[in-house]
Amino acid sequence: MITDPIEKIEIRPLYDLESGTWTYLLLEKTSKLSVLIDPVLERMERDLSHIQELGYKLSATIDTHMHADHITSAGVLGEKTNSEAFASEHSGAECASKFLKDEDLFSIGNLKFRVLHTPGHTPCSLSLLLNGKYLFSGDALFVRGCGRTDFQGGSADDLYKSITEKLFSLPDETIVLPGHDYKGFLSTTIGEEKKWNPRIAGKSLSEFKEIMDNLNLPEPKKIHEAVPANRACGKVS
């Protein structure tokens, strides 16, 4: 967990071993309100129990994009806890209660969010900067990697621009908490990724595109089920 006594907030990363997804539980210590970023349907009971044990109320869920590899628990959590479901204005998530757009600012107590539209993995992909210090980079920037761009309207051109122009303009010490990891890493910083990201550091757009064009990744098992289900906030019949 990352405890930040100055901001009176705490960040608890929760991992889904099946899809390699990092869900983030954000705790607002003054009001005892909490937020989940990218919650996974199959881990809903774990996440909800954990929030209840800690004595918090779930205020909102935020999906950084419409996932192809897992289904969000946003809708089911909304029914169970009355939490709001936040998603991008470009997400097509008709079920969302609030739509986020680039440079939106919103707060839940001491949790102060700035929305960054970072398309590339999908056209609707968002990153979220929390209290100016912590970047939830969704499937844009990973630890020594990045999201794939070969389906769902993905664009290597857009992703290169999102990472190099938007995310890399944040301070070097910004802590990056990605939407996925497959190698056992938890987090990184903007400064490190500028220097060490093997796909992007020192790479031109054309070099990046060549790397992305040659990843030869298998199609996510759940893509045909997950994308429509996520547009319905995971309220699958």
Tell me the number of residues near a second copy by CB under 8 A.
24
Closest C-alpha among 129, 136, 127, 124 to residue 96: 124
Stretch that binds a second copy, among 1-9, 31-39, 57-65, 154-162 (CB under 8 A): 1-9
- Rounded to a whole number of angstroms, the minimum distance from the CB of residue 46 to a second copy is 6
| Length of the chain (residues) | 237
Counting Cα atoms < 13 Å in the Cβ hemisphere of 19 gives 26
Stretch that binds a second copy, among 82-90, 164-172, 184-192, 229-237 (CB under 8 A): 184-192
Strand order of the β-sheet with 134-138 is 105-108, 111-117, 126-130, 134-138, 175-178, 188-189
Q: Closest CB to a second copy among 17 and 105? A: 17
Structure tokens at 215: 């990843």
Among 9, 152, 195, 234, binds a second copy (CB under 8 A): 195
DSSP 70-93: S-B-HHHHHHHH--EEEEETTS--
Distance CA 1, CA 6 (A): 15
Asked whether position 192 contacts a second copy by CB under 8 A, the answer is yes
Asked whether position 184 contacts a second copy by CB under 8 A, the answer is yes
Stretch that binds a second copy, among 6-14, 59-67, 108-116, 217-225 (CB under 8 A): 6-14
Among 1, 169, 216, 237, binds a second copy (CB under 8 A): 1
Q: Interface with a second copy by CB under 8 A: which residues?
A: 1-3, 12-17, 43, 46, 50, 53-54, 175, 182-187, 192, 195-196
